Amino acid sequence: MSEHEVSGVAGVGVSGVGVPGVAGIEVPGGRAAGAALLVCAEYADPALRHHSLRSYFFGAAWAREHGHAYDDELFFVSALLHDLSLTPPFDSHSLPFEEAGGHLARVFTAGLGWPVERRDRAAELIVLHMRDDVSPQDDIESRLLQVGTTADVSGGGLDAFDPAFRAELLAAYPRLGFAETFVDLFRDQAARKPGCAAAGLVADGWEARALGNALDAG
């Protein structure tokens, strides 16, 4: 498979050119973002890949609306990698998926030549997206991933986004039955790793919120 012809992201090279922007928000260019797109396209199915991209755009739109500056490359790379440990090649038999995903991010970014501190940050974003809310003043990139994933998975905070933005986002990156497949993934994680955060969400009725997400209405 050519790096310029990745399934579901046709025309994407190492710069990320060819990936549709949404409402004036574009994906970052450069080697790191392009590599994250390629890896996500190779290992995530279209529904999970679109979720990763929607999570990025939700977070970026929230930052723009609230006037927050952030590290776009770090946020984008983390968003594209954050759920890859739900896929069979990277699924840990013992670690919660977000912790396994953090390790995956550290390996991936080592290959990019990122320094240890920046590799640690990518891992931190991925782990924290399954933890309690982080203040944007303390860690804006982690907060953006929390905002983006919460909106896209369970519909939390959707009212903060303009309906026109939501419509444009879904037109560019359709849901493709995401809610049902994602709930199944979390059920599997919960059954195999009963002490993990995913198991806690399943036990707390999260499934109903995910399956009732307003993004899937109409």
Q: Which residue do the tokens 């999970």 mark?
A: 48
What letters, b where the CB count within 10 A reaches 16 and e where it falls short, cover 146-177?
bbbbbbbbbbeebeebeeebbebbeebbebee
pLDDT for 13: 44
How many Å apart are CA 179 and CA 28, to the nearest integer? 27
How many Å apart are CA 142 and CA 128, to the nearest integer? 7
pLDDT in tens, the chain (218 residues): 233 334 344 444 444 557 899 999 999 999 999 999 999 999 999 999 999 999 999 999 999 999 999 999 999 999 999 999 999 999 999 999 999 999 999 999 999 999 999 999 999 999 999 999 999 999 999 999 999 999 999 999 999 999 999 999 999 999 999 999 999 999 999 999 999 999 999 999 999 999 999 999 86
pLDDT for 168: 97
- Taking the CA atoms of the chain, what radius of gyration do you get in angstroms? 16
Listed residue (184, 215, 187) closest to 200, CA to CA: 187
Q: Number of C-alpha atoms within 13 angstroms, CB side, residue 80?
A: 24
Enter the tokens of residue 144: 């953006």
Listed residue (212, 76, 85, 200) closest to 148, CA to CA: 76
How many Å apart are CA 187 and CA 19, to the nearest integer? 31
Enter the tokens of residue 206: 């999260």
pLDDT for 6: 40
Total-model pTM: 0.93
How many Å apart are CA 31 and CA 13, to the nearest integer? 9
pLDDT for 218: 60
